[in-house]
Amino acid sequence: MKELRRKQTIGDYIGLLSEKYEVYPSELFRALVVASEKGRAVCGDLAIECRSITEGKISFMVKKGTQLVGQFPVPLSFLSETDASILNNAFGARRIRKRVTPEKTDGTALCTVKDVRAGMSHVNLKAKVVEVSTSRRVTTRYGNYATLAKALIEDETGSIKLCLWNTQIDAVKAGDTFSIRDAKASRFRGETQLSLGTKGILQKEGLAPVMVQLTAPAM
């Protein structure tokens, strides 16, 4: 994959790279956009660098560590006009999801924050609460009201936001360490976040081993 083959579209190439290096096509596309604006970007294990801009095209170089993955030009129009979410459906996101989602065996397998990708379900991890945002009232797509807050949680590999609904909010405080089970990962405004939904479970470290299920509204 050192060079973009003739007759192979940019979308095809993004799909192939995404599947081989286990990232979502939409995430790789957004990384290209960031690299075009800032010169460099990171997507999973891939480092992307903008090499040049000429005649309506941007040339990118992609590496994994010190290994050259590919060099290819991308039309500026492709970056500005493509809907990133469509790429996931068009280029095999379901296959990628199976490879990046931890298997649910006995329900206790843990992953780390850096392993979390949008679209994953049954996410199990252990993390410390850094801060909890001020709660706010929102209207769900079904027309009912709910209270929403977001907790910033972290482990040794990174940080991510956890959506909290209604009674979940009072159960979480900064400084607490929690085990999280069966959470779901999604992408909102360009940021990957976790939510417990109606089946996710929180357990505060140090308490009796009773898993308390906190009900969230359907969205």
Domains defined along the chain, listed by start:
10-97 (no CATH), 103-213 (2.40.50.140)
The predicted pLDDT at position 161 comes to 93
Tens digit of pLDDT for each residue in 82-108? Answer: 766 566 555 544 444 444 444 443 445
Judge whether residue 38 has pLDDT over 70.
yes
Spatial CA neighbour of 14 closest among 27, 201, 120, 53: 27
Find the DSSP H helices in 39-164: 76-81, 84-90, 93-100
Judge whether residue 57 has pLDDT over 70.
yes
Instruction: Give dist(CA 197, CA 145) in Å, integer.
Output: 16
Tens digit of pLDDT for each residue in 161-192? Answer: 998 888 788 888 899 898 888 888 888 887 88
